[in-house]
Amino acid sequence: MHRSAPRLTRILACAAVPVMLVVAGCSSDADSKGDATTQAPSAAASPNAAQEVTPSVAPAKYTKLPDACKAITGKTIEDLVPEVKTKSGTPGKSSDTASRGSCSWNGLDDKGVKGSQYRWLDIALLRYESDPSLGSGEQRAQENYTKEVGKVKATQGATAVKTSGAAGVGNEATAISYGLKKTGADFKYAAIVTRTENVLITVSYNGAGYAGAKTPTPSDLMEDAVKASKEAVAAVAAANK
């Protein structure tokens, strides 16, 4: 009888409080211990679960870029840009030469009353590093390859835009030709956007005839642009040996 008195007192006390408090404060000691036992493993497993979902990507094949002004040989520059002003090229500004670089050349072959031929050649290099949150360098280059082709096709004022594949240049390449009216002359453009592993290369070659000189044909310009692009692909590979 004496042992049951405390238990009865406890039951009466719990009956006098709201239901929510009974659940929280009047459960047995055994239940409380059981809850602690079941919750412990999930808390301990959290760090491991975070490690399991961390993505991993393949390292980028190319870790360097060549000097953009040396990516096309001097002989090719002389062939494509007669009377070139600066044979060594004019480099573009870059705060990260390991990831991007550019260079351009231009020249006017002035033949007086027989007319003049103007040519402009430029190259842009973009290298993509592997990133767990963005993908491998090659995947990122593939994604941006399509975007670069779109940018060239969307050149403001471009007319008669045509695209085709450029076989034998890098892993994949697209040739884009178009016309553009500027400085009172009809310019013809030939551009090649190339992906070689995790690097994108864009070569743009254009020209015009002045004072009655013949305008260059898109096919002739494209043939030269392909040649320059192949040299640039080789230069990227050589820079990473």
> Got the DSSP string for 26-66?
SS-HHHHHHHHHHHHHHHHHHHHHHHHT----PPPS-----
Residue linked to tokens 């459960």: 27
pLDDT at 164: 97
DSSP H or E run through 16: none
Beta bridge partners of 107: 84, 119
pLDDT at residue 112, as a whole number: 86
Q: What pTM value is reported for the model? A: 0.77
| Phi then psi dihedrals of residue 89, to 5 deg | 85, 165
Q: Examine the pLDDT at 35 and tell me if it is beyond 80.
A: no
Domain ranges for the chain = 4-52, 68-239
Residue found by looking up tokens 């004019």 in the block: 90
Is 90 exceeded by the pLDDT of residue 122? yes
Q: Per CATH, is 68-239 categorized as 3.30.70?
A: no
Report which DSSP code applies to 169: S
Q: Is the pLDDT of residue 113 over 90?
A: no
Residue whose pair of structure tokens reads 């320059």 in the numeric block? 228
Residue 3's pLDDT band (boundaries 50, 70, 90)? Answer: very low
Q: How high is the pLDDT of residue 92?
A: 97
Residue 155's closest CA among 126, 108, 117, 193? 193
pLDDT tens by residue, 126-184: 999 999 999 999 999 999 999 999 999 999 999 999 999 999 999 999 999 999 998 88
In which band, very low, low, confident or very high, does the pLDDT at 25 lie, cut at 50, 70 and 90? very low
Name the one residue in this structure whose structure tokens are 């290298």: 127
Q: Is the pLDDT of residue 120 over 90?
A: yes
Helix/strand/coil for 207: strand
- Confidence (pLDDT) at 47: 52
Residue 4 has pLDDT above 80, yes or no: no
